[in-house]
Amino acid sequence: MGLILCSLVSHSQITRLYSRFTSLDKGENGTLSREDFQRIPELAINPLGDRIINAFFPEGEDQVNFRGFMRTLAHFRPIEDNEKSKDVNGPEPLNSRSNKLHFAFRLYDLDKDDKISRDELLQVLRMMVGVNISDEQLGSIADRTIQEADQDGDSAISFTEFVKVLEKVDVEQKMSIRFLH
């Protein structure tokens, strides 16, 4: 996996990321805690900040090392034009459209059962809009979203259905952070 990550970024970019990592590492122990991430202003103000922070931590872990930090950030690396046409043999890059969609899907799939239920959709919508919209309005949005996406009639959104809904959305652009330039 180290080789895959190294192929995604240049040596100078890794050096800059490592510098950012160490500046966040307030415990100076080579790992980041959730509290370290909560000090990042962009995450602190993002309504889904806690969900994004959780994505950095493997199941049951409360610290992330530099390799894990890089692995999660790699999902947000923009896909350059010259990469789109490459026929890649081997593992799919973490910043591929498919992996970006999996990452986004996991932000909504709160109970990790590979489906987005109405309740999960409501919870994420509530995180995103706060108290600016009534529960009734949010319920209506959730119902409409599930109605439009649900193809198999199970009243939930599977990953396949999620992908179908987003097929015309430029996910590569919307889920890119030019944090290395």
Q: pLDDT tens, 86-128?
A: 555 567 888 888 989 999 999 999 999 999 999 999 999 999 8
- Residue 1 is predicted with a pLDDT of 36
pTM recorded for the entire structure: 0.78
Residue 16 — pLDDT band, cuts 50, 70, 90? confident
Distances (CA, A) of 33 to 173, 174, 175: 29, 27, 23
E strand or H helix that includes residue 64: strand 64-65
56 pLDDT band, cuts 50/70/90, is very high
Domains and CATH numbers, the chain: 1-76 (1.10.238.10), 96-175 (1.10.238.10)
Q: Is the pLDDT of residue 74 over 70?
A: yes
The share of the chain scoring above pLDDT 90, in percent, equals 51
For residue 47, pLDDT beyond 80:
yes
31 close to 64: Cβ distance less than 8 angstroms: yes
- What distances in angstroms separate CA 101 from CA 94, 105, 147, 174, one per listed residue? 11, 6, 20, 11
